[in-house]
Structure 1
Amino acid sequence: MDRVPKFRPGFRFQWEPAQDCYVLLYPEGMVRLNGSAGAILAEVDGDRSVAEIVHRLEQRFPEAGSLAEDVAGFLRDAEAQHWVALS
């Protein structure tokens, strides 16, 4: 939970009006993100730890309850996909 995610070089996260969702752009293509993935990656700034991201999301979505396991799991998957690096 103390690790800090940041986007890997070559990846750019942005809102795409034509897709009406957040996307992750990279030289070979684009990943269209669902709402949850977009909300998590919107918090990735290279300075916030996973714990801080969880805290911010739990404040933003209090009805969701504890998000620690889901957020940490998604970020591990994003790291496995080489979208982010966790330092």
Structure 2
Amino acid sequence: MTTTNISSLSCYEIRSPFLFRWEESQQAHVLLYPEGIVKLNATGGEILKRCDGKTNVAELIDQLAHSYNASDIDAIRNGVLNFLEVSHGKGWIRAKA
């Protein structure tokens, strides 16, 4: 069971000064910031792509489950919640007010 402070009804967005984008040279989504770069794996990129300040966490989970044609929604939910919690803790994202 996952312990998280991430609400399924919250919408998240990338926090300044981070810039989320596809980096052709890395062949991956990245988070750029003044001190460096974070190269994301494919799933991390798909999650952060949906952190647009409009899509809530429940919708994000449903979209990913559909995209990955997943039968185990609980595994998708736990993975997304864990990733969002870490991302929030690192200051990459914030809840949209």
- Superposition TM-score, scaled by structure 1 size: 0.92
For residue 87 of structure 2, give the secondary structure of its aligned residue in structure 1.
Answer: helix
- Determine which structure has more spread, i.e. the larger CA radius of gyration: 2
Match of 2:53 among 43, 46, 63: 46
Pairwise CA RMSD: 1.2
Other-structure match for 1:9: 16
1:77 is aligned to 2:77 = no
Structure 2 unmatched runs, 5+: 1-7
- How far is the alpha carbon of 1:65 from its aligned partner? 2.5
Q: 1:62 aligns with which of 55, 69, 93?
A: 69
Q: Is residue 14–residue 48 contact of structure 2 (8 Å, CA) maintained in 1? A: no
| Percent of aligned pairs sharing the same letter | 33
Q: How many residues align?
A: 87
Inter-CA distance 64–32: structure 2 relative to 1 (3 Å threshold): farther
**Structure 1 ranges of 4+ moved more than 4 A:** none
